[in-house]
Amino acid sequence: MRIPKAVERLVSSFEKLPGIGPKTAQRLTFYLLHVPQAELDTFSEAVKQLKSNTKICSICFNVGEQDPCQICTDRERERNMICVVEEPLDVAALERSDGYRGLYHVLHGRLEPLRNIGPEELHIHDLLPRLENGTISEIILATNPTMEGEATAMYIAKIIKESRIQNSGIRKIKITRIGRGLPVGGDLEYADDVTLARSLEGRREF
């Protein structure tokens, strides 16, 4: 039996998603065949509008509905600290944990030399101009406790330490790293709220 083109197309679209193999892609596609058309329309409309109705914040590079994002424009937040994370999902996790009230900086990935992802592919160097106006007193490096996450944190600490902001003598920015209690090799977004809040509280100078 020949598989209909429409089925084939959706299977190959699902297969491109992270963590989805050919078997799961087929299962999802055949599952959707049983879903009422109206629900499918809602689903496909949501996919269609995903990018057109979201914006990347030009200050912190988080994903939001406006630019600058809600966090960057919120005057109630502590504006003297920036928490550096790998992905927008990490911002969501930290916000959920309720342990942090400062600003963010989203890298959109981590240094991965084996996949040719260097500092230029990430929003690493966009961090430095944010430190120039002298209001930031602490940078919290909250990249994942994986090998790549550690290397990324180390790289960022190095460029801040070498920057003229840090060497101008006016004020030193404290660089800290979260970690205590987080499972090594794990992802921030999967940590539970209490662990996450604790690892923020117990951050150490880097």
Q: Given the complex with Zn ion, which of 103 and 141 has the nearer CB atom? A: 103
Distance of CA 74 to CAs 78, 96, 101, Å? 9, 17, 10
Q: Shortest gap between Cβ of 69 and Zn ion (angstroms)?
A: 3
Query: Which residues lie near Zn ion (CB under 5 A)?
Result: 57, 59-60, 62, 68-69, 72
Cβ at position 105, least distance to Zn ion in Å: 9
b/e string for 116-143 if b means 16 or more Cβ within 10 A?
ebeeeebbbeebeebbeeeebebbbbbb
Least distance (Å) from Zn ion to the CB of residue 76?
14
Cis check for the bond before 68: say yes or no (omega within 30 of 0): yes
- As given in the structure block, the two tokens for residue 161 are 């330490």
Q: What stretches of the chain adopt beta strand conformation (E)? A: 55-56, 63-64, 81-85, 103-106, 138-141, 174-177, 204-205
Q: Which CB sits closer to Zn ion, 64 or 179? A: 64
Is 25 or 57 the residue whose CB approaches Zn ion more closely?
A: 57
Min dist CB 173 to Zn ion, Å, is 19
Which CB, 57 or 196, lies closer to Zn ion? 57
Supply 188's token pair: 């921030």
